[in-house]
Amino acid sequence: MNPPPDAGQEPEDVHPLSTKEGWACFVAEETMPPEVLSPAAIQRLSPDQRTAREREREDYHAQLVIVRTPTIQHVTTTGRKRILLNRRQQSARRGLIVSGPAGTGKTTAITQLGKNYELLGRRRGEVGHQALPVVYVTVPPAATPKMLAVELARFIGLPLPSRFSQVDITNRVCDLLCSRSCRLVLIDELHNLDIRTKTGAEASDQIKYLSERIPATFVLAGVDVEDTGLFTGRRGGQIASRYTEITTRPFPHKTAKDKEAWQSLVTTLEEALRLYAHRPQTLLKLSAYLHDRTGGMIGSLSHLVREAALDAIISGTEKITRTGLDEVELDRAVAQQTRRRPSTPATRKAS
């Protein structure tokens, strides 16, 4: 039995993913499933050891696992090919846009692309000690060109004197990212940019300018990006000619193939659980209920299973049940969708 972590140990400071420190932690992180102890082994633990084990399992179930969904596979494969195609391009590099409803795995897909790319480069010895091969930032609400440049500077940790103008910040950012071998720029929350407004159009131009200055592949992601006007007008035509769009959707549940794919997803999550009294295939048998409850949204499914697992640990039941799942409150959008949709026969049977 592995020694448990110190029960009094506090977690390290958590840096946002949109900083180089947070991104480095994300890339280096390996989720190790905690050991499932027998009842006899649990009884032999001291109170401090038991507390430490419980905290370890709470931390694990709060994250659980990243399921390699078809969306993640598509984004990582297509993104990798874009990076290779752009390697020798001096201009007009091709990018990728990931768009779809909230909760369909866009952020997970692009960050997994970035993580996989950086890990591959490090294994091959292609990433120097001071290199920043991947940058991840989010678009602030009502973003201006200067705000976008500041977000990139914040990721790098670049000090910005108050007298710096937009041009000053942009030049410093571009020069530094070029010198640090940046090859992939991930820009999330693109729906915060509306190019039908003057400010949004200028921010869109800034992204295009950055993509010309920095020899990297740009991958953009946001909720229903087409609704921002990104592809309309002259500016939109330029973007559409350089970016491939990947659309994310909820998991369907109509055909036998649909149901098999959903059940595979549920099984992957269930097999990752480390609960002492959970009965195998409980969630698999509730797969129709889980789809009805989450609308096929992988983000909502992950939330539902993780919170139910935490409830099982905190309450001491150590198992996920239909009753426990019913008690988990999901996001408002999914809750409204569930209320509008009549339950299926399979769902009623599961209850």
The tens place of each residue's pLDDT in the chain, 351 residues long, gives: 444 444 444 455 679 999 999 999 999 998 889 998 888 998 999 999 999 999 999 999 999 999 999 999 999 999 999 999 999 888 889 999 999 999 999 999 999 999 999 999 999 998 888 899 999 999 999 999 999 999 999 999 999 988 999 999 999 999 999 999 999 999 999 999 988 899 999 999 999 999 999 999 999 999 999 888 888 777 778 888 899 999 999 999 999 999 999 999 999 999 999 999 999 999 999 999 999 999 999 999 999 999 999 999 999 999 999 999 999 999 766 665 555 555 555 444 443
Q: Examine residue 14 and state whether it is found in any structural domain, yes or no.
A: no
Full DSSP string of 74-101: HHHHHHHHHHHHHTT-SSS--EEEEEES
Two tokens at 13?
Answer: 């400071």
Range of the domain at 180: 70-247
Q: Examine residue 42 and state whether it is found in any structural domain, yes or no.
A: no
Same domain? For 283 and 240 the reply is no
**DSSP for residue 45:** S
Task: Say whether 247 sits in a helix, a strand or coil.
Answer: strand
> What pLDDT is recorded for position 139?
97
Same domain? For 256 and 242 the reply is no
Same domain? For 206 and 314 the reply is no
Q: Examine residue 56 and state whether it is found in any structural domain, yes or no.
A: no
> What pLDDT is recorded for position 350?
45
Same domain? For 243 and 314 the reply is no
Same domain? For 126 and 154 the reply is yes
Same domain? For 239 and 110 the reply is yes
Same domain? For 74 and 124 the reply is yes
Q: What is the pTM of this model?
A: 0.88
Q: Examine residue 236 and state whether it is found in any structural domain, yes or no.
A: yes
Same domain? For 186 and 269 the reply is no
Two tokens at 85?
Answer: 């195609």
pLDDT tens-digit map of 87-142: 988 888 999 999 999 999 999 999 999 999 999 999 999 888 889 999 999 999 99
Q: Examine residue 30 and state whether it is found in any structural domain, yes or no.
A: no
Q: Examine residue 19 and state whether it is found in any structural domain, yes or no.
A: no
Same domain? For 197 and 113 the reply is yes
Q: How far apart are CA 239 and CA 228, in angstroms?
A: 13
Spatial CA neighbour of 1 closest among 50, 64, 59, 65: 50
> What pLDDT is recorded for position 240?
82
Among the candidates 205, 227, 247, a domain finishes at 247
Backbone angles phi, psi at 218, to 5 degrees: -100, 130
What domain count does the chain have? 2
Spatial CA neighbour of 310 closest among 66, 60, 58, 65: 58
> What pLDDT is recorded for position 7?
41
> What pLDDT is recorded for position 261?
96
Among the candidates 204, 222, 247, a domain finishes at 247
> What pLDDT is recorded for position 351?
39
> What pLDDT is recorded for position 343?
53
